[in-house]
Amino acid sequence: MKFRKMAVQSACALVVIAAMTSVAFSQSTPAAASSAAPDNTAVNVRDRQAATPTPVDQPNNKVDVQLAANVRQAIVNDRSLSMSAHNVKLVAASGVVTLRGPVATTQERTRVGELATHVAGVTRVDNQLDVTNKQ
């Protein structure tokens, strides 16, 4: 009986050690992948300007929140758009929709702006989307 208890404890200890080892290895990153960090300094400088709306500036009133949801739904429903385009930042305030973030192509930039323009309640679209693949 004593031997069985010790065997079970030893097996449990080995499982815990193996799990900890695999977690440690999975969290390490290759040196090549971490050496090329993206440079978004220009975007950060632009975002510091008070005139540039950010998602924090989204009004919390019912009309603007619903307008933002409707624009988001129109964008997400277009399956021809990339994941980046589906995830653009948008701020809706008093009928004005500001679009920001990266999209894959100039065609996507135009399409996302058109989708926002055609949503009921939108009076103007400020399209500040950045094209990542300039072709």
Q: What are the residue ranges spanned by the domains of the chain? A: 51-131
Range 105-109, long-range pairs (CB < 8 A, 24+ positions): 105/131, 105/133, 105/135, 106/131, 106/134, 108/81, 108/82, 108/84
What pLDDT is recorded for position 61? Answer: 92
Percentage of the chain lying above the pLDDT 70 cut:
60
pTM across the whole model: 0.64
Mean pLDDT of the chain: 78
Selection from 5-14, 58-67, 116-125 with the highest mean pLDDT: 116-125
How does pLDDT run across 87-119, given as a tens digit for each residue? Answer: 999 999 999 999 999 999 999 999 999 999 999
For the domain spanning 51-131, the CATH number is: 3.30.1340
